[in-house]
Structure 1
């Protein structure tokens, strides 16, 4: 599971490289996420633009990532494909996660707000 870390303003942007987050990589996803944000104290944008498939294990991994951040730090999702967006809507996770069309939109909203 490859996830890259990029620091933008006061926000960490994690780019998910593979096109699937499913049962075969869910544990690796959580471990990679935890390792990347271990020393980060601000909000995190999870860039899912490459992800075209998310199953229940993958959704559980994304929720676990949210819990790793704690209540004080948001996990913002960006770049959802139609299939991933559908999973988020069907499970009502769109009410749990701030979701943006792309990283730039996420940063425009949460980068400025977290810098204040």
Structure 2
């Protein structure tokens, strides 16, 4: 199966799109700060899933999924900070938080499968 057909990759792409759209609201002076970090972390998630999907050895697949999980945690932290600073409303972030939760559960399950 191609990575584009994997539900986890599709969720990660939807999450990246949502996070990038939310980041537009961050003040302009943060364009090269928090906003750029959000963009990089969100893009890293589906990118690492795709790269891991293309690797043959299970250990390599697992490593890239772990990197995607780390980027997911990084993104979540950055969005929580934006919410605390009042840059993005809690209500607006709820759908994105839902995608983060779904992607995190799926990545955890997939990583466990590759460890076995």
TM-score range normalised by the length of the shorter chain = under 0.3
Higher relative contact order (CA 8 A, sep 6+): 2
**Structure with larger Rg:** 2
Q: Compute the TM-score of the two structures, normalised by the length of structure 1.
A: 0.28
Q: Compute the TM-score of the two structures, normalised by the length of structure 2.
A: 0.28
More helix by share: 2
